[in-house]
Amino acid sequence: MNPTASLMCGRHRLDLSYPRVMGILNVTPDSFSDGGRHVALDDALRHAERMLAEGAALIDVGGESTRPGADSVSPQEELDRVAPVVEALVRELDALVSVDTSCPEVMRESAALGAGLINDVRSLEREGALAAAIGSGLPVCLMHRQGEPQDMQQAPRYDVPIEEAVADYLAARVAECEAAGLRRERLLLDPGFGFGKTVEHNLRLLNRMACLDELELPLLVGMSRKSMIGKVLERPVEERLPGGLALTSLAVERGARILRVHDVAPSVDAVNMTWAVLKEGC
């Protein structure tokens, strides 16, 4: 089991002694599964309210699509999308808000507005991101990826087994963050399913995900509605929930502590049922 029992996320304490569900709130016009549905502030707020009522422990707000082939957005455009939503979620719902961003400006402003977590698919590699994260005082999720959204799915390959590549990259990023002053107890890790990985890479990585326990940090996993499900099961985005729930249960069994999902209610049930079984073996 993961040694980190809880995580201080601003004024919220996130209990990680058991797995929790993170609800996805995309405020972009071009996300792969729900682009444009929650761009309006009131729509975003109501969707977040539903996810919290369904059992989400935190809401992950993203203002830049990182789907394969997605275009980049300017810091100001991302901030204009994200900041009003973060402010409303904190003020009106007292929600624990995670911000899915690689942008230093968005990190700083979101922290000032009351966000509790930074979720960076680029692992604080953008110029100024590490300093912004340190200054925020918030915990940070570091994710493995190969390439950038524009090209990451163009024939990805690795010279070592995928689980070794992921573990080595994340260990190096943790070491660099610690050396810069970002304390280890503020870090989470994401294996980065679908980010510069073939279907075979993704399946092997999940099969061997328990090897990441050696890094002794909480794992955040996101596979909801991803193309790996579509390719294995030959299902369009709107028919990937059953496959996603199977992956969610497997991820919990292999040590995931935060599950990042679109469909909160069924995912909470899958997590809780899987955890009930696992607890009997403790």
What are the structural domain ranges in the chain? 6-279
Least-confidence region, from 12-26, 90-104, 157-171, 268-282: 268-282
Give the mean model confidence (pLDDT) for residues 128-133.
Answer: 98
Longest dimension (CA), the chain: 50
81 classed as catalytic: no
- Judge whether residue 153 has pLDDT over 90: no
Give the mean model confidence (pLDDT) for residues 244-260.
Answer: 98
Q: How many CB atoms lie within 10 A of CB 258?
A: 28
**pTM recorded for the entire structure:** 0.93
Rg (CA), the chain: 17
Q: Which of 122, 173, 240, 260 is catalytic?
A: 260
> Which residues are 8's β-sheet partners?
13
226 classed as catalytic: yes
Residues of the chain above pLDDT 90, percent: 85
For the chain, what is the mean pLDDT? 93
Q: Which of 20, 67, 122, 226 is catalytic?
A: 226
Q: Sorting pLDDT into bands at 50, 70 and 90, what band is 32?
A: very low
What pLDDT sits at residue 155?
77
Strands 187-190 and 58-62 come out as unpaired
Phi-psi region of 225 (alpha: psi -120 to 50; beta: other; left: phi over 0): left
Strands 12-15 and 6-9 come out as antiparallel
Do 12 and 96 contact (CB within 8 A), yes or no? yes
Distances (CA, A) of 76 to 99, 132, 156, 201: 15, 16, 31, 35
In CATH, the architecture of 6-279 is: Alpha-Beta Barrel (3.20)
Least-confidence region, from 46-55, 101-110, 154-163, 227-236: 154-163
Distances (CA, A) of 112 to 64, 80, 116, 231, 244: 20, 15, 10, 41, 34
- Judge whether residue 187 has pLDDT over 60: yes
